[in-house]
Chain A
């Protein structure tokens, strides 16, 4: 029996890349052969199903399971490309009060028994959905854009992780990882964007990875594939793959993958075109 690790992907602010990151990291973990379940906590506004390309195969959802209307096995959607990757979708119609702490707790307990990793995609905000997504987590991935409002909201979320989770309540400190997304190295160099060091310095939590701003992310969502699967060689895919290795405990330096070709690449491409 597996004793899965529960990871919450959270940020406070919306639109920073929680769902993209959840899908990409869940897929990267599963590609290594581990059994992974991605859980969408955004009740009423689910999107992880769409990003993972499973939207047409959703039958039951998290609320059905919490209410005992369906079993977890019935609600899980298996990924078409990676065998060991599953999705537990959020419901689209019901209100967020449909989730109870006890209900979510027992779903997580059950998932822990059959998965190695449970990746909880948190909704934006600091309301019920977001607090429930983090409640039972073992570790947290905090997603921030290098931008003031996003960093501020992350700081609030860090405060919540240290106060409103099972770990915090039992006197432990939840391990936290910072994932900076939509980073533009050139703008940061020019002083137009907070640098990686700035964000790390302000939030003072260890860096898991830096995902560059990239066109590949939108392309991947267009076709419903986690970016780690859709364009494996691309900069964001590399960044997520690296972040995932670090999440597994590997000690490797954070690099800044880029989509831009070097001079040779540019010349080569120029010739070929």
Chain B
């Protein structure tokens, strides 16, 4: 606890409200449609970023969103060709991000 938190001791409920909403809506947006649109956009953006540096097939980027219990997983799979010059030795690279409930 620092001095600042002592000064603002009176609970800032608006911050709590905002945090709760952000987490809730992240889940609800995924589970109530328009998900496909988001995934498509992500896919396009990721493809554009990777293509700045590497030549890859548009089909080589796979984006998936999965809701599993209280976790939402964003799975990104990018298949790289073997003969690419920059230091990308591995065949595929995947990243995932999880949001807790």
Contact = CB atoms under 8 A, between A and B. Distances in A.
Contact of A156 (B11, B14, B17, B28): B28
Interface string A201-239: 110000000000000000000000000000000000000
Given A152-B28, A155-B28, A163-B34, A191 B21 contact: no
B22 interface: yes
B29 A188 contact: no
A193 interface: yes
Contact of A191 (B13, B22, B29): B13
A191 B12 contact: yes
Interface in B1-38: 8, 10-15, 17-18, 20-22, 24-25, 28-29, 32-34, 37
A159 B31 CA distance: 11
- Chain A binding surface, main DSSP class: helix
B29 A148 contact: no
A52 interface: no
Given A159-B34, A162-B34, A163-B34, A152 B25 contact: yes
Given A192-B14, A195-B14, A163 B22 contact: no
Given A152-B24, A155-B28, A193 B14 contact: yes
A214 to B, nearest CB: 20
Given A156-B32, A159-B32, A162-B34, A194 B18 contact: yes
A98 to B, nearest CB: 28
A151 interface: yes
Interface in A150-209: 151-152, 155-156, 159, 162-163, 188, 190-195, 198, 201-202
A155 B20 CA distance: 14
A131 to B, nearest CB: 14
Interface residues of A, number: 19
A194 B25 CA distance: 16
B35 to A, nearest CB: 10
Interface string A120-150: 0000000000000000000000000001100
Nearest to B24: A152
Given A152-B24, A162-B34, 9 more contacts: A147-B17, A152-B25, A155-B28, A155-B29, A159-B29, A159-B32, A190-B10, A194-B18, A198-B18
17 contacts: A147-B17, A148-B20, A152-B21, A152-B24, A155-B25, A155-B29, A156-B28, A162-B34, A163-B33, A188-B14, A190-B10, A192-B13, A194-B14, A198-B17, A198-B18, A201-B18, A202-B22
